[in-house]
Structure 1
Amino acid sequence: MSQATFLNRQALHLRPDPARVIVRPFKPATEPRDLNPTDKMRANHIVERVLALDQEAVAAQLADVLDNFKGRHRNLLERFEARADEMEDAFATHGVFSKKQRQLVGAYFLNEYSFEASALFNPSIVAHPDQSGAPKGGVRFILSLRAIGEGHVSSLTFRTGTIAADGSLAVDPTARLASIPRICHRISGPDGERVELIFKPEEDLTERVIFPVTESQSNGIEDARFVEFSDGDRKTYYATYTAYSGRAIRSELIETSDFTSFRLAPLRGAAARNKGMALFPRKIGGQYAMIARQDNENLYLIYSDDLHTWDGGQAILKPQFPWEFVQIGNCGSPIELDEGWLLLTHGVGPVRKYSIGAALLDKHDPSKVLARSREPLLRPEPSEREGYVPNVVYTCGGMRHNNQIILPYAVSDTFSNFATIEISELINAMKC
């Protein structure tokens, strides 16, 4: 199967930009109750040193900090105050603080973090909820990407763009600033924390960064697979992702309707103990459906009544061809076509080379595999083999536009690109 007949690589390389930074809590400046005795003592020493300054020195130091970081962040003084509020327990033992003292203390307990300094990869794509300004016959889109910075910590960032009627793509300029959301609600439960995050409306979508905020995510929010989910007249965007604590992984779920407020919650059940889950874009037979890989080798079809609990399942795809002998997994949510569900897959072959393939599932009973690609649709080209993890092409989800599949994909866990696929030619090739 020759990829040249139906797949066209674009020249839209999205590369990591170390100049994009957020401010995040600086350890040992996490919540005092989370610190060990030594760190609590150190945090108190910092507060005491600030308090020892006279008011004129405090004002001068605060002005110097604001001048030094001018233009690098939105509402930086407000962020200092918010950090001081989080450090309320540390203030309690030190009497009354002036507003400027609180702000200066807040500054000492933050640090800049270049969230995409190392990599910008594993994208997924969905139609934008706001289609105003879309080209005639085209569509506006949102691209989610996994960003990696110092310490290999993964976060979630976004880009926007347009697809023209003929399938040509354009990516909008990225905002110069970057912002993290405010935590509106945090609820602890037996399965972990549920949180609700909200960004300010004036913050551009490309400015918004979802950084780890719970213990289960502390080392990364990885590989979000966004899908536009339809339930009657209601449309919601969901994304499964891998939460990594530094010791363990599990699957969790993001929910949003506007990409301004987001709800993050853990998933339950045996299937959620692994990574690589992808939700179908609508219910099937009255149930939610998911493609998952709970045995690290095969792909399973799983159903659920409540969206958050995933057990059991039926193996529907197993490694069959040499390019996928090590393992197979999904590359995003199934895409509904007239012919059935198009499931993009990844296969791992010799020398741990990752390639992208596809399978066609029955529309009414997705456990039935109608066809699958004998050869990869996309494999690392010589120019795409070098990077943080060599010999890898990977995607977390494509979308249909007219007679094409728009496929964003990552190159060697370093940067991202796009390809377009002619649907009819792909279907014919898989049936060969």
Structure 2
Amino acid sequence: MNSISIRRHEIMLQPESARVIIRPFIPTSSEKIGAIIGRALDLSDEEVIGELQAVCHEFDARHYDIETLLMEHYMKVVRHISTPSPLSRDRELLIGALFSGEYSLESAALFNPSIVAHPDQSGVPDGGLRFIMSLRATGEGHISSIEFRSGEIDSAGDIVLDPVSRYVAMPNIVLNPTYRKKSFILKFHEMGFNNLFVDAVIAPLGAEFTRTALNDSVAKVEREMHPDTHEHRRTLECIQWLADSNYELSFSSKLSVSERIIFPVSLNESNGIEDARFVRLTEDDGSTLYCATYTAYNGKAILPQFIETRDFLHFRVLTLNGTAVQNKGMALFPRTIDGRYAMLSRQDDENLFIMFSDNLHYWNDPQLLLGPAEVWESVKIGNCGSPLETEAGWLVITHGVGPLRKYCIGAVLLDLNDPSKVIGRLKYPLISPQGIEREGYVPNVVYSCGSLLHGDKLILPYAMSDKFTAIAGVDLKELLVAITKDHGVKS
């Protein structure tokens, strides 16, 4: 029986269809693109001005700087245009509008949250905490992206969310990002490429190199070595693919937290960025870095990816390396243990594993940590975000799947000095779906991607049936007592 005090806050984050971005809406057929452009070129100047004014009147208030977005999309089709004289800016913008479409980011769901302390705690009252919450937003076509919310928790544990903006904006993609040579080589070897063409491209580059330097090296190899086999051509193509999968994003500091959206960029995440698990990592030198693992999905396969940021304005997205980088649910510990990074993972879609590494981006040798024990988690278990450090041990919020695919949230305690040792485990769910929580896109599910500790409370945001998001406050002392009272741990 659950005797732990749990406060379900009167907060519910619901999908808002009016929060939209403008995406390219460009046919794959060159003939169709040409036909659309032709009809735009046939309009008189007066018709162009009138049509563009109508577009701006209808859509301008829904977006920041709509003209810049339309011009970006015009530039994507400009190579299909051949006219004896330059086009007017109005005609260019109208053509851009013809190849644009609105996309509602969260029209289907707003769920699977994680929460971390905000990097800026200035002005917060004593005993309070400002936070940032990440959310998985899902829209048309079930494409997922990352959204953010912010708010404060006061000394009594009351939570107030900051107002959510009507607008959303995508970041600028840094056109000339930098790469780490060691990680780049490791990943490429894991992909099965280890030949003279790889060495020829990578050898001249520095320990950190830019995309421009990489492109120049690829072009030089193509000129000098003349790749003449499928393997060689495939090698050079995959070098570019790997570079595309590692990128940098930058938001304007003028945007509020809720206005920042990370939408899929690379091909391996074209169908979604799923279930980001953010954690505030404290390095051995005392510096902090916000990190997140997420699942990139291209419609056929999944790939664990990694995000780094210090300010939630500038983000670096990276591929992870190592044989243990697979499946979903990788969750990083918030500090090193005996000088090594630690990560939870789920290698087999059933059990919970732990692994250690000297390199934040390279993971091997997972160890089985624990498996299903109770009926409510007897189908499979996983984590609900990064472990939380308490005096009693590492608190891991878990999820378990039981009869009729019902997802419940549980808790496990790991030894502080050796987190491969389980020292306590809840025999019953901490939170089970009840009432409205049972109804949604995927019924009978409660799930989280990360929580935090504040005073004597566990602040646990959680998704309800892959549709909405709520927040619970849990008495930490009662939770730890309940976890440790039974030392007969099953694993």
Give the structure-1-normalised TM-score: 0.94
1:27: Cα distance to partner?
3.4
Larger fraction in helix: 2
1:189: Cα distance to partner?
4.8
Aligned to 1:12: 11
Aligned to 2:2: 2
Do residues 208 (structure 1) and 260 (structure 2) align? yes
State the one-letter code of the partner of 2:358.
D
Aligned pair in 2 of structure 1 residues 112, 335: CA closer, same or farther (>3 Å)? same
1:218: Cα distance to partner?
0.7
Distance 2:245 2:81 in 1: 27
Do residues 268 (structure 1) and 317 (structure 2) align? no
Do residues 221 (structure 1) and 220 (structure 2) align? no
Aligned to 2:232: none
Q: Structure 2 residue aligned with 1:377, among 430, 435, 440?
A: 430
SS at match of 1:295: coil
Segment drifting more, 185-194 vs 61-70: 185-194
Aligned to 2:35: 45
Aligned to 2:156: 166
Distance 1:137 1:92 in 2: 65
Aligned to 1:196: 248
RMSD, aligned CA: 1.7
Alignment of 1:46-125 (within 5 A): 46-91=36-81, 96-125=86-115
SS at match of 1:69: helix
- Is contact 1:291–1:330 with CA below 8 Å preserved after alignment? yes
Distance 2:77 2:390 in 1: 53
| Structure 1: gaps (5+ residues) | 29-34
1:388: Cα distance to partner?
0.8
Instruction: Give the 4+ runs in structure 1 shifted more than 6 A.
Output: 92-95
- Is contact 1:271–1:293 with CA below 8 Å preserved after alignment? no
Give the structure-2-normalised TM-score: 0.83
1:378: Cα distance to partner?
0.5
Aligned to 2:194: none
Aligned pair in 2 of structure 1 residues 379, 93: CA closer, same or farther (>3 Å)? farther
SS at match of 1:87: helix
Percent sequence identity over aligned pairs: 49
Distance 1:89 1:312 in 2: 50
Alignment of 1:188-337 (within 5 A): 188-190=240-242, 193-231=245-283, 232-337=285-390
Aligned to 2:470: 417
Structure with the greater alpha carbon radius of gyration: 2
State the one-letter code of the partner of 2:55.
V
SS at match of 1:212: coil
1:362: Cα distance to partner?
1.0
- Is contact 1:117–1:149 with CA below 8 Å preserved after alignment? yes
Residues 199-258 of structure 1 deviation map (CA, whole Å, 9 limit, x = unaligned): 122111101111111111111111110101111231111111111100111110111111
Aligned pair in 2 of structure 1 residues 196, 338: CA closer, same or farther (>3 Å)? same
State the one-letter code of the partner of 1:119.
A
Larger fraction in strand: 1
Residues 111-145 of structure 1 deviation map (CA, whole Å, 9 limit, x = unaligned): 10111111111000001111123232101111110
